Amino acid sequence: MDMAVRTARIALVGNPNSGKTALFNALTGAHQKVANYAGVTVERKEGRIHAADGRTLSVLDLPGTYSLRARSLDEEVTRDAVLGALPGETPPDVVVCVADATNLRLVLRLALELKQVGRPMVLALNMYDIAQRQGLRIDLERLSAEIGAPVVTTVATRKRGIAELVAAAQTQADLAVGETHSEWHAPSATEIRAAHREAERIMKACVRAPERPDTLTGKIDSVLLHPLAGLAILLGVLFVMFQAVFTWATPAMDGIEALFALVGGWVAAVVPDGLLQSLIVDGLIGGVGSVLVFLPQILIIFFFIIVLEDFGYMARAAFLMDKIMGGAGLHGRAFIPLLSSFACAIPGIMATRVIEAKRDRLTTILIAPLMTCSARIPVYVLIIAAFIPNETVWGFVSLQGLVMFGLYAAGIISALLVSVVIRKVFWRGAVEPFMMELPAYKMPDIKSVLFNLWLRAKIFMRRAGKIILPLMIIVWALSTFPYPPEGATGPAIDYSFAGMIGKTLEPIFAPIGFSWQMVVALVPGMAAREVAVAVLGTVYAVAGAEENVGALASVLSADWSLATGLAFLAWYVFAPQCLPTIGVVRRETGSMKWTLIMVGYMFGLAYLGAFIVYHTAVALGGG
């Protein structure tokens, strides 16, 4: 074998939240998700490093773990990667043990364990900036001698120490060429105790306590984690977020609408009247534009989430919610997956891999789609704009923002209730207590916040191109053909395939106040929820070029009763309106039965919720 061209493989292994993914990004130029809480990475990710000497190395980012005695699915991935037990994989040539330099005790135990596996190792003391700021003194030479591996200090977020780390890893790889020894056995209780003592001894020998211990974190925590004040602040933060959605977004929306109107007008002037013009202007530009216009709202919500994540607040929110979630039969570790589900249920469901007990994980998967994903935002905003007056209550509170807050709350509360029911119906037993490690507070980095927002915008726009655009072509065709017969008087859509489908299914939805036009919007909404907004624009023939949220909202408010509008919102809170999510649930649970149970209960709740809302509103005079 020609050693010179063989790519050495490096694996990043370390405690949760120690900065492995930040290092991976710094090493490879990738943009994997980094956030200030444990359990961000749940899968292995491979990337490439082009070293200074022209060689390439391959590097693996792995889920965080405290030990190779893996307990949850994500930790098993890390163990198997280190041992080369994943199908088709050999053990890595070098293990880079990534440490949070301010929290060495736990990582030393892991480092000792890794050492036993027998792979060449490098210890990366990451977050070295924070360690220095705190005045923590680490005897690097002694530490290196004690664990028998080179030690490199790094600041992943500032790309410091990266070249040194690569060089050290390369040297280790070269020294150990051809050596493939790798073994591990689960340690006995005696061995574990011995390892703890050894880690303690190394700590004492190499680390001197910080001169300026982090008292700020403690001070902030005494407020933010206060059982009452903390919860009030959490609610306040969410409240401000939804107020912002309705007050900050308008100028940006106006800009996007103007842009699409301009393009639509331009195409209408260039392309002759007829089918092609209708397809481009109404179907494509109007359809995609009517969804893209909600980008500002989505980015505002993500802005809050990203800043709070980076600050280290989300782990505190998990702490505050722990009692409530435990009461509902949810494991404390369910918080982060549920939080991820506010972006989209799919990454949320994947994130449940951090939950050890199968039942706890299954419960979390089953309720994750009730969290308000970002694809619901366009629908909520449109219907709220149509039916909720743009007024201020109690002097300063936007009523529309308040309703939005209520819809999110409805999702959360129903998720908790469903969890209680799952616990009652399918299994009992106490939930294991769990304490998430609270990360130190960090000032969010503006560049990375903006970058993450840009990634979010890209995801949303890619969806518009890849899913919404093709769907809109289908919807346009179904609502254009067949043409109305000679002498027909109603709108053309009445005679189209879309009209036929809607009218066939209408009887099912009539009891909850939905018209056939709404049914037409629900069907493609199964592929991507937000398409419903574009389809409503099509079925109500709001002309493409002058299409805007205001115009569509006023058509809806004229055509639907208030009761219908509210019932539609209720439907959207609960309905499993998204095939990709159902597919992921099937894959992650490995069970058709549980997938069907989820789809069934969600449709049931949607129908029941819309029914109750509709009839209550009618009874109160909103029909």
Positive or negative CA dihedral for 566, 569, 574, 578? Answer: positive
- The one among 10, 17, 125, 475 contacting ligand GTP by CB under 6 A: 17
Write b or e for each residue in 177-186: b if 16 or more Cβ atoms lie within 10 A of its Cβ, otherwise e.
eeeeebebee
**Burial (0-12, 13-18, 19+ Cβ within 10 Å), 101:** buried
Q: Per-residue x/- marks for ligand GTP, 413-452, CB under 6 A?
A: -----------------------------x----------
Does residue number 11 form part of the binding site for ligand GTP (CB under 6 A)? Answer: no
- The one among 60, 107, 130, 533 contacting ligand GTP by CB under 6 A: 130
Does residue number 310 form part of the binding site for ligand GTP (CB under 6 A)? Answer: yes
Minimum CB–partner distance for residue 15 and ligand GTP (Å): 7
Closer residue to ligand GTP (CB): 101 or 386: 101
Angle ∠(452,573,32) on CA atoms, nearest 5: 20
Does residue number 350 form part of the binding site for Mg ion (CB under 5 A)? Answer: no
Does residue number 36 form part of the binding site for ligand GTP (CB under 6 A)? Answer: yes
Closer residue to ligand GTP (CB): 423 or 442: 442
- The one among 9, 18, 138, 422 contacting ligand GTP by CB under 6 A: 18
CA 14 – CA 18 distance, rounded (Å) = 7
Closer residue to ligand GTP (CB): 159 or 196: 159
| Cβ pair 66, 146 in contact under 8 A | no
| Cβ pair 323, 8 in contact under 8 A | no
For residue 228 the two structure tokens come to 């009452």
For residue 227 the two structure tokens come to 């059982």
Minimum CB–partner distance for residue 23 and ligand GTP (Å): 7
> Among 298, 374, 308, which Cα is nearest to 335's?
308
Positive or negative CA dihedral for 353, 356, 360, 362? Answer: positive
Which window, 14-22, 43-51, 491-499, 613-621, contacts ligand GTP (CB under 6 A)? 14-22
CA 523 – CA 533 distance, rounded (Å) = 12
The option from Mg ion, ligand GTP, none interacting with 39 (CB < 5 to 8 A, set by class) reads ligand GTP
Minimum CB–partner distance for residue 312 and ligand GTP (Å): 7
Does residue number 109 form part of the binding site for ligand GTP (CB under 6 A)? Answer: no
Minimum CB–partner distance for residue 18 and Mg ion (Å): 9
The backbone torsions φ and ψ at residue 479, rounded to the nearest 5 degrees and listed phi first, read -95, -5
Helix residue spans in 271-357 (DSSP H): 275-277, 287-292, 295-311, 313-327, 335-340, 345-351
> How many C-beta atoms surround the C-beta of residue 618 within 10 A?
16
Minimum CB–partner distance for residue 47 and ligand GTP (Å): 13
* Interface with Mg ion in residues 146-165 (CB under 5 A): none
- The one among 81, 127, 367, 381 contacting ligand GTP by CB under 6 A: 127
| Cβ pair 331, 72 in contact under 8 A | no
Closer residue to Mg ion (CB): 35 or 512: 35
Q: Are strands 56-61 and 8-14 parallel, antiparallel or unpaired?
A: parallel
CA distances from 318 to 10, 224, 225, 333, 429 (A): 33, 12, 10, 8, 22
Q: Is 88 left (phi over 0), alpha (psi -120 to 50) or beta?
A: left
The DSSP element (H or E) to which 66 belongs, if any, is none
* Interface with Mg ion in residues 2-41 (CB under 5 A): 21, 40-41
Does residue number 64 form part of the binding site for ligand GTP (CB under 6 A)? Answer: yes
The option from ligand GTP, Mg ion, none interacting with 367 (CB < 5 to 8 A, set by class) reads none
> Among 419, 345, 349, which Cα is nearest to 376's?
345
Which window, 13-21, 213-221, 272-280, 363-371, contacts ligand GTP (CB under 6 A)? 13-21
The option from Mg ion, ligand GTP, none interacting with 38 (CB < 5 to 8 A, set by class) reads ligand GTP
Does residue number 595 form part of the binding site for ligand GTP (CB under 6 A)? Answer: no
For the chain, count helices (H), then strands (E): 27, 10
Closer residue to Mg ion (CB): 15 or 102: 15
Closer residue to Mg ion (CB): 44 or 359: 44
Does residue number 352 form part of the binding site for ligand GTP (CB under 6 A)? Answer: no
Closer residue to Mg ion (CB): 18 or 479: 18
CA 240 – CA 256 distance, rounded (Å) = 24
The option from Mg ion, ligand GTP, none interacting with 149 (CB < 5 to 8 A, set by class) reads none
- The one among 28, 39, 419, 617 contacting ligand GTP by CB under 6 A: 39
- The one among 8, 11, 13, 20 contacting ligand GTP by CB under 6 A: 20
Q: Are strands 137-138 and 207-208 parallel, antiparallel or unpaired?
A: antiparallel
Does residue number 340 form part of the binding site for Mg ion (CB under 5 A)? Answer: no
Does residue number 43 form part of the binding site for ligand GTP (CB under 6 A)? Answer: no
Query: Which residue's Cβ lies closest to ligand GTP?
Result: 64
Q: Note the residues at the interface with ligand GTP (CB under 6 A).
A: 14, 16-22, 34-36, 38-41, 63-64, 126-127, 129-130, 155-157, 310, 442
